[in-house]
Amino acid sequence: MTRPILETEGLTKRFGSLVANDKLSVTVEEDTIHGIMGPNGSGKSTFFNTVTGFYRPDGGTVRFDGEDVTGWKPDEIARRGLARTFQIPSPFEDLTVKENMLAVFTGGLRSGVRVPEEKRARADELLELLEIDHVADQEAGGVSGGQEKLLELGRILMLEPACVMLDEPTAGVNPSLRNRLLDHLETLNDRGTTFVIIEHDMRVIADVCDRVTVFNQGQVLVEGDFESVTGDERVRDAYLGGAAEHDASLETLIGEESTESPSEGAAADTGATADAEPAAEDASTEPTPAAGGGAIPAGGEAAGSAAAATASSAASALSGVGAEPDGEPWLVGEDLVSGYGNHRVVDGVSVESRDGVTCVFGPNGSGKSTLLKTLAGVVPAWEGQVTHRGVDVTGNRPAENVHRGVTMLPQDGGIFGNLTVRENLLLGGYTVGDGAVREERFDEVLSSFPELEGKLDDRAQSLSGGQQMMLSYGRAMMTGAEVYLLDEPSSGLAPSLIDQVFEMTRRLVESGAQVVLIEQNVREALRIADYVYILAQGQLQFEGTPDDLTDEDDLVELYLGLD
């Protein structure tokens, strides 16, 4: 009969006013493999960091093997028998693989750096078990990404822990090595080691986990076996995003052109990020989200027509690079391979920007952001080619691509909090040599986001979450780009602001630009999508129009990378 080996009760961790873990109570049974699932931002990594002592909890308790270890230091917890790995291994690159294993047992300078013979024998045993003994004498900086993952696991196992928490152990690992790694985990589990796994490859969770806990918004959403949790509608909502009508089919959502007014409560909620208090709403300027994903400025149909005219007239200023929709892809990535260190994250992906909004979907860890950064020149392409207007820009720096007309909005918006709103906007126009064009774009940004006009001399960090999002869009628009790469612009925003994000995205299209959008809220993004790519484990699972994604069961399988 099994017993609990790891228990958290009411575990809470805050960052400012953001509650990353909200009274989490999780029980891991001894001799099991326990999976932790959840969409991006659901609190999984914070949970690992808090349980293992890297973060001090703001409430609740952590018990390991019957002992309260709440607030212990990471090394104390590890030596007690609860160890962890990290998503990106960090071996001592100048030491050999075996030396890395033995380094776990060096006692520092005062010890004379001596390792007991029994520990050397333990290292040899683990190297053979993990099938990396053939690279034991190679420097760790020269082995493959998959071998680094195995080395990371081996170093932890040198401590002979009772429980190991693994953060995405198969990320960046090729399929054959992935299967070997899973075989090793099951062998070790049979020998008595308990594992807790964060993993975005759902096949891993399905193959090896005895029980699964799903997090969402810092709380436990549901627990059970893999089939029961993945069949739960609440889990689908968490991964795919909520919809205005949760009972509506995807076909209805994609084709919806409703003109119904939102509830008064939704219109009144300006939303905010966790780090800023919302500003008072100006009813004369605030756009009210429509049910179909559009926006109708306060004042009714006439005001809406005026806004449409303004958006139309803005095209010449905001598309200063010379963008005019022609039905051709302007930014093309072919057979792209990229990653970090020895870890391949994007594996042979081909994508194109198209007229309208091109959406890239996939679970966290699937390579979406890395793909976008590769297109923008932030992350170098290891293989493949990126072209813009037929010109090879594979080796371009990000600044060179901005000059060409390709701009990326990072997930956090990338605004400079200590600079004023005006200064942030002018930084967006630093590549514009014509002062008149720069002033015209500045005026058009303020016309698009009138809330910013009265805050030009305020520091950006004082803005509400919605206003910071507007500033990020406005600064990108100042570049006059023809291709915008948007990395989860709705992340961290109140639900009432999500429609505004998509409306602003559509404004970029109306100005003549092509948009590539990464978005976790799949259901809402499908309302404005013209073309869709779905990634899982760094590879394309689907490409096509939103009309091809009306079967939600198929979408869930594609999105989660299930066979």
DSSP 252-312: HHHH----PPPPHHHHH-----TTSPPPPP-TTTPEEEPTTS-EEETT-HHHHHHHHHHHH
Q: Which of 143-147, 249-253, 409-413, 530-534 has the highest mean pLDDT?
A: 530-534
Domain 264-272+298-560 fold: Rossmann fold (3.40.50)
For residues 29 and 2, the answer to whether their CB atoms sit within 8 Å is yes
CATH of the domain spanning 4-240, picked from 3.30.160.20, 3.30.420.40, 3.40.50.1220, 3.40.50.300: 3.40.50.300
The edge-to-edge listing of strands for the beta sheet with 391-392 is 343-352, 331-340, 383-388, 391-392
* The model's pTM: 0.60
Dihedral pair phi/psi, residue 235, rounded to 5°: -70, -40
First to last CA, the chain: 33
In the three-class reduction of DSSP (H, G, I as helix; E, B as strand; rest coil), residue 331 is classed as strand
- CA 561, CA 284: separation in Å to the nearest integer? 46
Q: Which DSSP state fits 262?
A: P
Mean pLDDT value across residues 191-201: 90
C-alpha distances (whole Å) from 348 to each of 66, 385, 393, 562 are 47, 10, 17, 19
Instruction: Write down the domain spans for the chain.
Output: 4-240, 264-272+298-560
- Pairing state between β 514-518 and 356-361: parallel
pLDDT in tens, 394-436: 999 999 999 999 999 887 778 888 899 999 999 888 878 888 8
- CA 6, CA 116: separation in Å to the nearest integer? 30
For residues 101 and 127, the answer to whether their CB atoms sit within 8 Å is yes
- Please say if the pLDDT value at position 248 is more than 80: no
Classify residue 529 as exposed, middle or buried by CB count within 10 Å of its CB (0-12, 13-18, 19+). buried
Q: Which DSSP state fits 548?
A: G
pLDDT in tens, 287-303: 323 222 333 233 333 33
pLDDT in tens, 478-513: 988 999 999 988 776 666 677 778 888 888 898 889
For residues 489 and 410, the answer to whether their CB atoms sit within 8 Å is no
4-240 and 264-272+298-560 have identical folds:
yes
Mean pLDDT computed over every residue of the chain: 80
Q: Which DSSP state fits 546?
A: G
